[in-house]
């Protein structure tokens, strides 16, 4: 084993071997993979070997499509057979609700380039004769489903990587990892030491143990997973004889089953409700090519459904039951990317669907390591989507929930209960007493809407029980004054002698003067968006953590709460080494409330001695002021697009400020409003949001944020050259708002936009704008079609609805309310 390498990849499963291959293919050949046993010795060897392109996140689906297309390349390069069988498959729906979901999958496939088609249950039976069409209401045909040889694929990655110059060290157990003074990593193994510039944790079942070597507790948990293999079946032989092909794949979502042919019989797997974690706290290092004891009683309810939906199984015997552990993250998606606070330490773990996602994970991670960017929007897989709140017990609860719901419908208004409540604000109980229905954002309970006694969410693809109540909350804001809880925003304090210069380089905007705020895009080196914030120049006004640096050297950045770890990682990667700039994520050290609506100023004036007239406290002003007895920071800004204020305070003051505002607002009929009302309010202002409209694959011109980019400022801000290039060539797309002719449902995101009879774009988010009484969609379309208002359609639940481009906001287009 060599003593030095550019990269050490730890773990010889399909994911580790994919990372190794992609690094070598991209030109980083001084790379070594360390495997404690033989390749595939963890979860890989006993995997069912299925592969598919379907994923709830379109960006992940793109990488799954890439993974499947990659197998031909690695087979040819390595000379190793991968055993790939592209059989096609059917996705089955036993209920109309499931069929509505599948229609959305088909629509996404149109702009992802996936060959999907809605078919009847009878047509599904013709394609897959083992199923009983009477058990289903419809299906979707997918031409790209298939299966493979897990061992063959893994060895093909490894052999291809070796041919490109990489090295593989088997039977080499990593025992410790240490950070050296020069920033490199010392990896200590049972065969000696190796020093590397980069380390990749692709440890699979042992990812937690590898992470703990560097003080990292990863939110992953192994679950026992079972599938059975039948004896040879005459029905399978008949399909093979009459078609000359294998029996195609089937996914029976309502039965929680997946099926494919295995030699002369069938393989049937299930994600059972009565699931069981494996080795919850630590994984034994001596576990290898072993299986767990089968427990057919645990999967019996699923098998009963399977035998009913696929009657041929009633007449055959079970040859083998495979029970082996697989690792999952709390939401079922992989954990990929650089780890905040551990420079050049990377993770690629929790990849449960390794043969659908392993190639894409390897590509994205190698891009990230070599070029500083994954090349795709992979936030759904980014390890930064979790913070310290994702403890082991939380992970256990959420993984078990996710496993049991892997094939269940997640309705757009459905909030899952496991691991909650965990993080709460000081007013949580006060909001609960007033009927708050909570969601969760970055672990924090956030009020979505307020339900009268006895009313709760009824989960649906269509407008549901919350609809009239959210409408009332919207009316409260637009007609009087609403009070909202906004602590879920991410808050960052920036201080230090060089804070101003650092911000001028980090952010593309022109920095505001003391006492002022501005919208602040943040760009990557290629000029694409990596953040959108509100930036406030506090001039020493922030009432947390004591002390003030004074002047222009104290700043508050407000952004998306779900991206706190993501953005802190970026900030810290770019901090000067001399300690002249300090960035702190405040979290719940700073809590927030918002008042918005035409009477908002009247309420604020009652609770402070400050002059809050428009002349003295104009739009985008920010200052410290007391709200009754509580010291606060108040900004004249509101995501509702109305006259409004964001009020920030230390958590010990939030209850006092909340009750003070409610009492002061009584004469103006103040009311509470939640996140769903805020969504309806921002849509009629054409306001975008991070992770939907604003993503690292769009430039500021495409996203409509170029008016906030100070192209001419002296500071050479990150991404300036790329932003100037986009400004010159115009980019490819434009973010636009549409009003659509909806019936009883509204878009939520990822629906297809048509124009002139062709698919041209996709919806990023949407909903019903109750004040305007319009169904609104925001989405990206090619810049060439934005000159036309008509001729658009948006596909929703299997139907195309007429849509009209809405260039001006539906509310306050002249900014009279906002600025008045």
The pair of three-digit structure tokens given for residue 154, joined into one six-digit string: 């893994």
Cα–Cα distance, 319 to 236 (Å, whole number): 15
Nearest-5° Cα angle at 582, 579 to 587: 150
Taking residue 433's Cβ as centre, other Cβ atoms within 10 Å add up to: 9
Is the distance from CB of 392 to CB of 49 less than 8 angstroms? no
Whether the Cβ atoms of residue 472 and residue 452 lie closer than 8 Å to each other: no
The Cα 217–Cα 350 span in angstroms is 13
Q: Which structure tokens are listed for 553?
A: 């050297």
Closest Cα partner for 383 from 351, 360, 356, 422? 351
pLDDT score for 237: 97
Q: Is 71 helix (H, G, I), strand (E, B) or coil?
A: helix
Sheet with 50-51, strands from edge to edge, namely 50-51, 146-147, 85-86
Query: What does the alpha-carbon distance between residue 164 and residue 26 come to, in Å, rounded to a whole number?
Result: 10
Q: Give dist(CA 380, CA 428) in Å, integer.
A: 28
Residue 238's Cβ-count burial label (10 Å; 0-12, 13-18, 19+) is middle
> pTM of whole model > 0.85?
yes
Would you say 534 and 690 are in contact if contact means Cβ atoms under 8 Å apart? no
N-to-C CA span, the chain: 71
Please say whether the beta carbons of 268 and 257 come within 8 A.
Answer: yes
Q: Which two tokens stand for residue 665?
A: 């607002």
3-class secondary-structure state, position 611? coil
Q: How many CA atoms lie within 13 A of 223 on its CB side?
A: 28
What angle do the packed helices 14-25 and 354-371 form, to 10 degrees?
40
**What is the separation of C-alpha 628 from the centre of its chain, rounded to a whole number of angstroms?**
40
At 597, is the secondary structure helix, strand, or coil?
coil
CB atoms within 10 A of CB 228: 23
- The total of other beta-carbon atoms located within 10 Å of residue 763's CB is 24
Instruction: Name residue, tokens 């061992």.
Output: 151
Q: For the segment 62-100, what is each residue's pLDDT rounded down to a tens digit?
A: 889 999 999 999 999 999 999 999 999 999 999 999 999
**CA triplet 171, 172, 178: central angle to 5 degrees?**
165
- What count of other Cβ atoms lies within 10 Å of the Cβ of residue 790? 9
CA-based nearest residue to 716, from 463, 508, 511: 508
Residue reference for tokens 């909030």: 415
- What does the block give as tokens for 402? 């996710």
120-159 burial by CB neighbour count: b if 16+ within 10 A, else e? ebebbbebbbbbebebbbbbbbbebbbbbbbbbbbbbbbb
Length of the chain: 820
Q: Where are the alpha helices (DSSP H) in 434-498?
A: 467-479
Separation of CA 236 from chain center: 40
Task: Name the CA radius of gyration of the chain, rounded.
Answer: 28
Rounded-to-integer distance, Cα 516 and Cα 35, Å: 55
Is the backbone peptide bond immediately before 421 cis, with ω within 30 degrees of 0?
yes
> From the first residue on, what is the mean pLDDT of each consecutive set of 10 residues in the chain (820 residues)?
96 97 98 96 90 83 91 96 95 96 93 93 98 98 93 97 98 97 97 98 97 98 96 97 96 94 96 93 90 93 94 94 96 97 97 93 97 93 96 97 93 96 98 98 98 94 97 98 98 96 98 97 97 92 45 86 98 96 98 98 98 98 97 98 98 98 98 98 97 96 98 96 97 97 96 95 97 98 92 96 97 95
234's CB contacts (< 8 A; 6+ apart) are none
Contacts with 254 (C-beta within 8 Å, 6 or more apart), sequence order:
92, 93, 94, 95, 98, 305, 407
The pLDDT value recorded for residue 66 is 93
- CA-to-CA distance for 562 and 443, rounded, in angstroms? 9
- Residues 527-537 have pLDDT tens digits of 999 999 999 99
- Tokens standing for residue 732: 């490819």
Question: What's the pLDDT score for residue 549?
Answer: 43
| Residues near 773 by beta carbon (within 8 Å), at least 6 away in sequence | none
């Amino acid at each position: 084993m060599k003593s030095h390498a550019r990269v050490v990849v730890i773990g010889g499963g399909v994911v580790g071997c994919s990372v190794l291959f992609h690094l070598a293919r991209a030109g980083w050949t001084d790379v070594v993979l360390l495997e404690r046993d033989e390749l595939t010795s963890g979860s890989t060897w006993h995997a069912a070997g299925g592969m598919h392109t379907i994923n709830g996140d379109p960006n992940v689906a793109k990488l799954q499509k890439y993974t499947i297309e990659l197998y031909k390349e690695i087979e040819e390069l390595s000379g190793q057979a991968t055993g790939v069988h592209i059989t096609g498959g059917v996705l089955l729906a036993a209920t109309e609700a499931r069929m509505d979901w599948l229609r959305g999958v088909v629509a996404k496939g149109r702009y992802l380039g996936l060959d999907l088609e809605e078919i009847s249950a009878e047509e599904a039976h013709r394609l897959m004769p083992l199923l009983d069409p009477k058990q289903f209401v419809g299906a979707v045909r997918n031409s790209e489903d298939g299966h493979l040889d897990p061992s063959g694929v893994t060895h093909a990655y490894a052999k291809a990587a070796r041919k490109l110059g990489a090295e593989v060290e088997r039977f080499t157990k990593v025992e410790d990892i240490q950070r050296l003074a020069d920033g490199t990593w010392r990896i200590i193994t049972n065969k000696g030491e190796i020093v590397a510039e980069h380390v990749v944790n692709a440890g699979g079942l042992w990812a937690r143990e590898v992470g703990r070597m560097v003080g990292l507790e990863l939110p992953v948990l192994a679950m026992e997973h079972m599938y059975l293999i039948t004896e040879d079946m005459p029905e399978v032989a008949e399909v093979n004889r009459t078609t000359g092909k294998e029996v195609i794949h089937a996914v029976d979502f309502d039965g929680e089953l997946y099926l494919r042919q295995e030699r002369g019989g069938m393989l049937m797997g299930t994600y059972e409700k009565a699931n069981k974690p494996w080795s919850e706290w630590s994984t034994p290092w001596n576990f290898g090519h072993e299986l767990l004891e089968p427990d057919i009683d645990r999967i019996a309810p699923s098998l009963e459904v399977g035998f009913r939906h696929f009657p041929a199984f009633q007449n055959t015997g079970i040859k083998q039951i495979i029970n082996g552990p697989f690792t999952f993250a709390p939401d079922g998606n992989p954990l990929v990317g650089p780890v905040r606070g551990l420079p050049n330490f990377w993770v690629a773990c929790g990849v449960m669907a390794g043969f659908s996602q392993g190639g894409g994970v390897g590509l994205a991670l190698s891009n990230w390591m070599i070029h500083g960017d994954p090349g795709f929007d992979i936030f759904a897989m980014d390890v930064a989507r979790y913070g310290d709140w994702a403890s082991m017990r939380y992970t256990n609860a959420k993984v078990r929930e996710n496993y049991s719901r892997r094939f269940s419908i997640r309705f757009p208004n459905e909030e899952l209960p496991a691991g909650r409540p965990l993080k709460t604000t000081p007013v949580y109980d006060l909001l609960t007493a007033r009927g708050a229905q909570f969601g969760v954002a970055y672990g924090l309970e956030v009020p979505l809407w307020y339900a009268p006694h006895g009313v709760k969410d009824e989960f649906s693809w269509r407008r549901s029980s919350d609809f009239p109540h959210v409408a009332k909350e919207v009316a409260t804001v637009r007609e009087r004054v609403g009070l909202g809880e906004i602590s879920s925003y991410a808050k960052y304090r920036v201080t230090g002698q060089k804070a101003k210069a650092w911000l001028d380089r980090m952010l593309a905007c022109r920095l505001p003067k003391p006492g002022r705020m501005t919208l602040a895009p943040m760009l990557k080196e290629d000029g694409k968006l990596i953040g959108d914030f509100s930036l406030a120049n506090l001039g020493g006004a922030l009432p947390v953590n004591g002390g003030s640096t004074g002047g222009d050297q104290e700043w508050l950045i407000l952004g998306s709460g779900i991206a706190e770890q993501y953005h802190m990682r970026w900030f810290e990667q770019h901090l000067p080494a001399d300690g002249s700039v300090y960035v702190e994520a405040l979290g719940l050290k700073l809590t927030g409330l918002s008042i918005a609506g035409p009477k908002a100023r009247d309420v604020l004036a009652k609770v402070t001695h400050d002059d809050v007239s428009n002349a003295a406290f104009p739009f985008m002003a920010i200052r410290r002021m007391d709200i009754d007895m509580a010291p606060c920071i108040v900004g004249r800004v509101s995501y509702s697009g109305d006259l409004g204020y964001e009020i920030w305070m230390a958590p010990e003051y939030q209850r006092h400020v909340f009750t003070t505002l409610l009492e002061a607002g009584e004469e103006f009929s103040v009311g509470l409003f939640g996140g769903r009302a805020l969504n309806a309010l921002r849509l009629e202002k054409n306001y975008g949001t991070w992770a939907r409209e604003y993503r690292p694959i769009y430039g500021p011109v495409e996203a409509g944020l170029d008016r906030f980019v100070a192209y001419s400022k002296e500071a050479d801000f990150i991404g300036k050259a790329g932003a100037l290039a986009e400004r010159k060539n115009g980019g490819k797309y434009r973010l636009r708002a549409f009003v659509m002719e909806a019936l009883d449902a509204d878009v939520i995101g990822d629906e297809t936009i048509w124009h002139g009879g062709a698919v041209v774009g996709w919806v990023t988010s949407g909903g019903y704008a109750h004040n305007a009484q319009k169904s609104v969609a925001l989405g990206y379309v090619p810049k060439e079609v934005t000159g036309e208002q008509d001729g658009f359609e948006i596909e929703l639940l299997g139907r195309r609805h007429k849509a009209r481009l809405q260039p001006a906001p539906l509310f306050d287009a002249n900014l009279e309310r906002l600025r008045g």
